Amino acid sequence: MKKILVAMMIMIAGFQAQAGIYVEPYLAYNILGDTDGEDTTGTNIGGRLGYSLPMLVSFGLDYNMGSYTIDGATGDVDADTTNLGVFVAVDLPILLRGYASYYFSSDIEASGASFDGSGIAVGVGFTMLPFVSLNLEYRAMSYDGAGGFPDFDGKEILVGVSLPLDL
């Protein structure tokens, strides 16, 4: 029993010694977005901050903000978004990385109204270049109605570039 306890303590101590700080700034462009039947385009900038483990797994906080144009039936509407959530990422040994985020706080301001919501994102990064990842991401967000506006959903596909750093 003592040998098992000592072995577990050594494994845990070694595990903590190899954990690192994970920082990933990113820039993305919404190539295919839809907000309740209306097309959206725009840019998104953000970053991920967390821990990376020796098992090629990273987790932490994901924050981003974007500036979008919604092509409505009555004309274009500018919208600003901010998202805050948690993420988990897995680096695969075949020059790919997968990640998922849950945004527990998502805000969008458009047409003088502010909407609160939440959502998810899943993505894949191609890490064939040193220090650079080319990303493809899908997001699905849900917003609560406000100021006489009904609830609505937003979906988007983003392409982007990021700089995942394991410090």
Is residue 120 in a domain?
yes
Is residue 52 in a domain?
yes
- State whether residue 6 is helix, strand or coil: helix
Is residue 26 in a domain?
yes
Q: What percent of the chain is modeled with pLDDT above 70? A: 87
Question: What confidence score (pLDDT) does residue 155 get?
Answer: 94
Is residue 1 in a domain?
no
Question: What confidence score (pLDDT) does residue 38 get?
Answer: 87
Residue range 103-111: mean pLDDT, rounded: 92
CA 47 to CA 122: how far, in whole Å? 15
Question: What confidence score (pLDDT) does residue 98 get?
Answer: 96
Is residue 73 in a domain?
yes
Is residue 74 in a domain?
yes
| Domains in the chain, number | 1
Is residue 125 in a domain?
yes
Q: Does 146 have pLDDT greater than 90? A: no
Q: Does 34 have pLDDT greater than 90? A: no
CA 29 to CA 27: how far, in whole Å? 7
Is residue 2 in a domain?
no
Residue range of the domain that includes 118: 20-166
Give me the CATH number covering residue 126.
2.40.160.20
Question: What confidence score (pLDDT) does residue 55 get?
Answer: 80
Q: What percent of the chain is modeled with pLDDT above 90? A: 60
Q: What is the mean pLDDT of the chain?
A: 88
Instruction: State how far Cα 89 lies from the chain centre.
Output: 10
